[in-house]
Amino acid sequence: MGKYGVDILNIDVKKLIQMLNEALSEEWLAYYQYWIGARLMEGPMRSEIEPELLIHADQELNHAVLVVNRIIQLGGTPVLNPSDWPKLSRCDYDPPEDPYVEVILNQNLKGERCAIQRYKEIADFTSGKDHTTHQMATTILNEELEHEQDIEDWLTDIDRMKEDLKKIRV
């Protein structure tokens, strides 16, 4: 963004760039969490869940594109070294050591809730001040809410299936 575009923001731009770099690191970790988890997962509804997890991975990568473009517009330097991702990220990366679908989904669910908190904070911080970042944050937030809902729905269905199986055995 031009200098004037930054000057008119009634906001602590340095702090905003820091928040955006943390969000950028979280998006890359979320991307890999989905991308590797989808490939390893085993268990019920695999053929439905795996492709959707890969779509979520693509969407996280697209969030990273939106965030990095805004950092550059604001005159900031995006995080340059992947080794800084876990340091900047507030969301944990959980290695998917157990490939069972529920474990994978719970790891992704934790990440989504962390992302929801992140974009709520960025939206709050920029509200009424930096309309461009605010709009970006709410756009991403809406998609994170959809991701959370998708995962909760699968977990509900898996629980229900388990309950039904119990009834059959009796």
| Smallest distance, Fe ion to C-beta of residue 112, A | 5
84 vs 146 by CB, closer to Mg ion:
146
Cα–Cα distance measured from residue 154 to residue 95, given in angstroms and rounded to the nearest whole number: 21
60 touching Mg ion, by CB under 5 A: no
Give the one entry of Mg ion, Fe ion, none that residue 130 binds, where binding means its C-beta sits below a cut-off of 5 to 8 angstroms depending on kind: none
* The entry of Fe ion, Mg ion, none that residue 63 binds, CB within 5 to 8 Å by partner kind: Fe ion
Residue 27 or 130: the one with the smaller Cβ distance to Fe ion is: 27
**By CB under 5 A, residue 112 contacts Mg ion:** no
Which of 22, 26, 130, 150: binder of Mg ion (CB under 5 A)? Answer: 150
What is the token pair recorded at 135?
A: 């709009």
User: For Fe ion, which is the closer residue by CB, 63 or 103?
Assistant: 63
- Dihedral (C-alpha) 116, 122, 56, 161: value to the nearest 10 degrees? 10
The site for Fe ion (CB under 5 A) is made up of 27, 60, 63, 112, 115, 144, 147
Q: Which stretch binds Mg ion (CB under 5 A): 64-72, 84-92, 136-144, 148-156?
A: 148-156
Minimum separation from the CB atom of position 16 to Mg ion (A): 28
Cα 38 to Cα 1: distance, rounded to the nearest angstrom: 37
Total binding residues for Mg ion by CB under 5 A? Answer: 1
Per the CB < 8 A criterion, the answer to whether 91 and 25 are in contact is no
Q: Which residues pair with 100 in a beta bridge?
A: 42
Which listed option, Mg ion, Fe ion, none, makes contact with residue 64 (CB within 5 to 8 Å by class)?
Answer: none
